[in-house]
Each structure stands twice: as structure tokens, then as C-alpha cells.
């Protein structure tokens, strides 16, 4: 499948990842009480921590290796069999450690039914093989499967979660959604590539995955420790404001950064084929596209922070707006960091440098959080996350410049277009604020106005990546 179609499917997938939670969060926050939601969030976070431990760095390594040998049926069958076996073993080991954690924390969990779903989620995650479809670039299947499962999950939430005591039904839906995807994936992979568990050499992968494992663990530190640290240092209310703001920002960031999952296997394949010209073209286009998306997105988050908080969360969560403004730069930083990691360093087997950058970011995150959260609460944690991500970007940029000088030249017209878009957005926002519109009217006017202004700006600049997008749009709606 062409890169254009893959990106189109990934756009649809990313859109669903944003829209489905945006629809479900207001319903859940009004139906379930804080205690029920807290139980689900605690057990889900604990389970996810051990899922990360069980992942053992396999995913990134697996995507790269599948992309390299996808045209060799025998090698592919051997590879997927070894990687699936390795993941099952690491999952069993993680489940043993999880049992110890549950024994120590059972008073905090206090619900055996939640534990049943949690253990099922963790154990069946051993069959997770999404990496196979990313490496094969089968984004049509990934997108259509995800849309079907997420739509059914959303419908189940509206039908089954209707009272505070239904927190168990909510977590069962969360777990079942993941379990169905894992079973569907592994059955389809077995039918396509075949599985053979004879003469497996899964140990050889450990020599490679130990670096990517360290990378994934370091990358997870802000994801896993931010709420814990904030709760210990500033209390539960600060966690609520920060967590809601970060949830929204990360959803929108994922809408942009998920493109790397499309581009990563294609970059690996081009490196294998030694197609330097096409590789540089894809790097330039993908870098330009991500910059043109991330910078205006950050400006948009800043501009709608107050109105969006009032409409979406209600007056009780007004402090979320301040967190959104601080975190508005997060999409830009995380996009730059992942671009340098996934498009430049990791496809060239340079995970060691990625590890160093993430190590610097993780250490700075913990130090900043310990220094800022006691004084500034949720805003201190937001600044800690932004500061640590900025350090990761600076480290990655330094490594890329040192190892691949001249590979990623800065395109002045692209940067100028992105910055002009920010200026236009802020002018539009300021003018609408002078009109003293209601929060709803402000949002419904500003968002389409900014989209129109941005489309006009891109037409004026006629950048290669925007012209490519407009040509795809015209073909889609005017096939003749």
C-alpha cells in the first residue's frame, strides 16, 4: 500500500483516538463518582505499569525487523514466532511480579472482580502483536479494526455504565476492548505468516531489545510517575486538574505523532534498499508536515483553553485552563523529539543515543517535579513535563547534528508559514475576545475561522507538503 494511503488511514485512526475519548469522558465524569473512577484509574495504571515491564523493548525492534524481512516468508514466520514467544515469557514473568504487588496493595484495591479483569488484561496482553501490522504497513486493517472495536466499546459504555456502582462494568469494557484486539490480531497474524514454535532462537533478540527496553522504560517515567509524584507532593485536587489537562493535550498530540508509526517502517525499508534520494524526500516532507501541524496546534490549545474548559469540564474544573496554557507547547516538543527518534536515530540502530536523551529527560523531570510541585502544585508538574521534554529535544537535536550533519536542513519557508499561522490565530482570538462572546460562541467561531485562515495561508505559500495534501483532497472529492 502506498505511503499516501497509509497516512490517510492513520489520520482516520488518530482522529478516532481523539474523538472517542472526547465523547466518553464527559459521560463518565457525570455518571461515575470520584471513588469509582479512582479505583479504575488506580488498577488500570498499576496494570499498565506491568504491561510496560512485560513489553521488554520488543515493539520497536519488532517493527523494524518485520519491515526488513516482510518479503521473505520463511524468515518472517521464524521472526514472529520468536518475538511472540519472547513476549509471552516476559508477560508471565511480569504477572508473577504483579501478583506480589497486588498482595502488598490489596487493601488499596479492595475489589477481587477488578483484579480478575486486571489479570486477564495483563496475561492476554502477552499475545499483543500490533508490531506485526505496523511492520507490514497494513494500516487499512489496523484502522478498520480499531474503528469497529472502539465504536462497540463506546456504545457499551453508554448502555452499561449508567450509575456510580458501574465502575466495574467500565473497567470490564476497557479490558475487553484490549483483549478482543489482541485475540483478533494474533489469529490474523497466524493465518497470514504462520507460527512455528520449533527451533526458536528468541534469546538472540534480548541482546538487541535490552537497549530499546531501557528506552521504553525511560520514556514511560513521565507517563507513569507524574500523577503519583503530584499526588504525594500536592494532593488529590492538583492531580485532577493536571490529569484532565494532560489527557486532552496528549490526545491531540497523538493525533500528530501517530504518523511516526506509519513513517518508521517505511524509513527502515528505504534504508535497507539504500534509496537515499527517496529517503531524504520522505524525511523532508514528513518533517515539514509535522511542523505545520504541531506549531499551530499548540497555538490553538492556548487560545481555546478558557472556553474549552468552561464548556467541556464545567466551572468546577476552571484551573484546568491554566494547565492547558502551560502544556500548549507540549505537542511541538513531543513531535520534534519523536521525529528525531523514530525517523533518524532508531531506524539506523542508534537506540543508544535515544536512551541518553531520554535518560537526561527522565532525570530532569523528577528533579523539576520535586522542586516545583510543592510550591506550584499542578502548574509545577506541567512545567516539569514541558521542561523535561525540551531537554529531550535538545539532546536529540545535538545527537542528530553530530551523527548526521546535513541530513535535516531547516526549511525557512515552512517555519515562516507555521509562525505566521500562529500570528493569525492570535489576532483572530484577540478580535473575538473583544466581542465578549459566550464560551460556546467563541469556540464555534474561532475554530473554523482559524482553519480557513490556515488553509488560505498554505495555499499562498504553496509548500510541497501542503500541495501534496491538497492534491489528495481534490482526488478524494473530485475523482474525475
Q: What is the pLDDT of residues 336-366, one digit of tens each?
A: 888 887 777 766 767 778 888 888 998 999 8
Q: Give mean pLDDT, residues 361-385.
A: 89
Does any domain span residue 335? yes
Q: Give mean pLDDT, residues 94-122.
A: 86
Using 50, 70 and 90 to split pLDDT, how confident is the model at 25? confident
pLDDT of the residue at 238? 67
Using 50, 70 and 90 to split pLDDT, how confident is the model at 406? low
Report the half-sphere exposure of 272 (CA within 13 A, side-chain side): 15
Instruction: Give the tens place of pLDDT for each residue, 306-315.
Output: 898 888 776 7
State how far the Cα of 344 lies from the Cα of 123, in Å rounded to an integer: 34
The verdict on 253 and 334 lying in the same domain is: yes
The verdict on 303 and 417 lying in the same domain is: yes
State how far the Cα of 159 lies from the Cα of 149, in Å rounded to an integer: 15
State how far the Cα of 229 lies from the Cα of 237, in Å rounded to an integer: 13
**Whole-prediction pTM value?**
0.69
The verdict on 3 and 81 lying in the same domain is: yes
353 contacts: CB under 8 Å, gap ≥ 6: 345, 396, 399, 403
Burial (Cβ within 10 Å: 0-12, 13-18, ≥19) of residue 187: exposed
Does any domain span residue 285? yes
The verdict on 185 and 227 lying in the same domain is: no
Using 50, 70 and 90 to split pLDDT, how confident is the model at 7? low
Could you give the angle at which helices 464-477 and 439-461 cross, rounded to 10 degrees? Answer: 110
The verdict on 168 and 192 lying in the same domain is: yes
Specify whether the CB–CB gap between 347 and 203 falls below 8 A.
no
pLDDT of the residue at 302? 93
Task: Flag the least confident range among 61-70, 95-104, 156-165, 356-365.
Answer: 61-70
Does any domain span residue 419? yes
State how far the Cα of 28 lies from the Cα of 162, in Å rounded to an integer: 9
Does any domain span residue 210? no
How far from chain centre, in Å, is Cα 374? 28
Higher pLDDT pick, 352 / 328 = 328
How far from chain centre, in Å, is Cα 405? 29
State how far the Cα of 451 lies from the Cα of 112, in Å rounded to an integer: 49
Task: Flag the least confident range among 25-39, 125-139, 436-450, 465-479.
Answer: 465-479
Mean pLDDT of the chain: 80
Task: Flag the least confident range among 20-24, 47-51, 256-260.
Answer: 256-260
The total domain count for the chain is 2
pLDDT of the residue at 293? 84
DSSP assignment letter at 199: S
DSSP assignment letter at 408: S
Does any domain span residue 478? no
Could you give the angle at which helices 3-31 and 259-273 cross, rounded to 10 degrees? Answer: 150
Does any domain span residue 173? yes
Q: Give mean pLDDT, residues 126-146.
A: 83
Domain boundary among 175, 201, 227: 201
The verdict on 228 and 298 lying in the same domain is: yes
The verdict on 162 and 27 lying in the same domain is: yes
State how far the Cα of 355 lies from the Cα of 395, in Å rounded to an integer: 10
Domain boundary among 177, 201, 225: 201
The verdict on 41 and 177 lying in the same domain is: yes
Q: What are the backbone angles phi and psi of residue 194, rounded to the nearest 5°?
A: 80, 155
Q: DSSP readout, 143-182?
A: HHHHHHHHHHHHHHHHHH--SGGGHHHHHHHHHHHHHHHH
State how far the Cα of 8 lies from the Cα of 143, in Å rounded to an integer: 10
Residue 164 belongs to domain spanning? 1-201
Specify whether the CB–CB gap between 349 and 206 falls below 8 A.
no
Domain boundary among 167, 201, 235: 201
pLDDT of the residue at 401? 83
Q: DSSP readout, 223-263?
A: HHHHHHHHHHHH-HHHHHHHHHHHHHHHHHHHHHHTHHHHH
Does any domain span residue 434? yes
Q: Nearest-CA neighbor of 327 among 248, 257, 391, 226?
A: 248
pLDDT of the residue at 480? 47
Percent over 90 (pLDDT), the chain: 20
The verdict on 132 and 232 lying in the same domain is: no
Instruction: Give the tens place of pLDDT for each residue, 250-266.
Output: 877 877 776 555 555 55
The verdict on 250 and 154 lying in the same domain is: no
Does any domain span residue 234? yes
The verdict on 169 and 219 lying in the same domain is: no
The verdict on 194 and 316 lying in the same domain is: no
Amino acid at each position: 500500500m502506498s505511503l499516501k494511503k497509509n497516512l490517510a488511514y492513520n489520520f482516520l485512526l488518530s482522529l478516532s483516538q481523539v474523538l472517542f475519548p472526547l465523547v466518553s469522558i464527559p459521560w463518565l465524569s457525570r455518571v461515575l463518582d470520584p471513588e469509582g473512577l479512582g479505583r479504575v484509574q488506580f488498577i488500570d495504571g498499576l496494570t499498565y505499569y506491568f504491561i510496560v515491564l512485560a513489553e521488554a523493548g520488543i515493539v520497536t525492534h519488532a517493527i523494524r525487523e518485520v519491515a526488513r524481512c516482510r518479503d521473505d516468508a520463511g524468515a518472517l514466520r521464524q521472526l514472529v514466532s520468536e518475538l511472540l514467544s519472547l513476549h509471552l515469557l516476559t508477560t508471565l514473568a511480569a504477572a508473577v511480579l504483579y501478583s506480589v504487588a497486588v498482595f502488598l496493595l490489596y487493601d488499596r484495591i479492595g475489589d477481587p472482580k477488578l483484579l480478575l479483569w486486571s489479570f486477564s488484561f495483563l496475561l492476554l496482553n502477552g499475545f499483543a502483536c500490533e508490531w506485526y501490522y505496523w511492520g507490514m504497513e497494513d494500516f487499512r486493517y489496523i484502522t478498520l479494526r480499531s474503528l469497529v472495536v472502539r465504536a462497540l466499546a463506546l456504545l457499551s459504555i453508554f448502555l452499561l455504565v449508567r450509575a456510580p456502582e458501574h465502575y466495574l462494568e467500565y473497567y470490564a469494557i476497557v479490558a475487553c476492548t484490549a483483549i478482543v484486539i489482541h485475540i483478533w490480531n494474533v489469529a490474523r497474524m497466524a493465518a497470514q505468516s504462520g507460527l512455528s514454535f520449533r527451533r526458536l532462537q528468541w534469546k538472540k533478540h534480548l541482546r538487541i531489545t535490552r537497549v530499546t527496553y531501557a528506552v521504553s522504560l525511560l520514556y514511560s517515567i513521565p507517563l507513569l510517575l507524574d500523577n503519583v509524584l503530584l499526588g504525594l507532593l500536592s494532593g488529590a485536587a492538583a492531580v485532577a486538574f493536571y490529569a484532565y489537562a494532560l489527557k486532552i493535550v496528549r490526545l491531540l498530540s497523538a493525533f500528530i505523532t501517530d504518523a511516526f508509526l506509519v513513517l518508521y517502517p517505511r524509513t527502515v525499508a528505504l534504508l535497507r534498499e539504500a534509496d537515499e534520494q527517496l529517503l531524504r524526500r520522505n524525511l523532508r516532507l514528513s518533517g515539514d508536515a509535522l511542523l505545520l501541524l504541531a506549531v499551530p496546534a499548540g497555538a490553538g490549545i492556548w487560545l481555546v483553553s478558557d472556553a474549552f474548559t468552561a464548556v467541556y469540564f464545567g466551572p468546577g474544573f476552571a484551573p484546568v485552563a491554566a494547565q492547558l496554557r502551560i502544556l500548549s507547547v507540549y505537542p511541538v516538543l513531543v513531535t520534534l523529539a519523536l521525529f528525531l527518534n523514530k525517523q533518524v536515530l532508531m531506524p539506523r540502530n542508534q537506540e543508544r543515543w535515544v536512551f541518553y536523551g531520554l535518560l537526561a529527560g527522565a532525570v530532569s523531570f523528577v528533579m523539576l517535579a520535586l522542586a516545583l510541585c510543592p510550591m506550584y502544585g499542578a502548574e509545577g508538574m506541567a512545567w516539569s513535563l514541558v521542561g523535561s521534554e525540551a531537554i529531550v529535544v535538545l539532546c536529540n537535536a545535538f545527537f542528530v547534528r553530530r551523527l548526521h550533519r546535513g541530513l535535516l536542513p531547516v526549511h525557512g519557508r515552512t517555519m515562516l508559514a507555521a509562525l505566521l499561522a500562529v500570528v493569525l490565530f492570535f489576532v483572530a482570538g484577540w478580535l473575538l475576545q473583544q466581542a465578549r462572546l459566550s464560551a460556546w460562541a467563541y469556540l464555534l467561531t474561532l475554530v473554523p475561522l482559524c482553519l480557513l485562515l490556515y488553509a488560505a495561508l498554505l495555499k499562498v505559500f504553496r509548500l510541497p507538503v501542503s500541495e501534496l495534501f491538497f492534491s489528495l483532497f481534490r482526488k478524494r472529492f473530485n475523482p474525475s
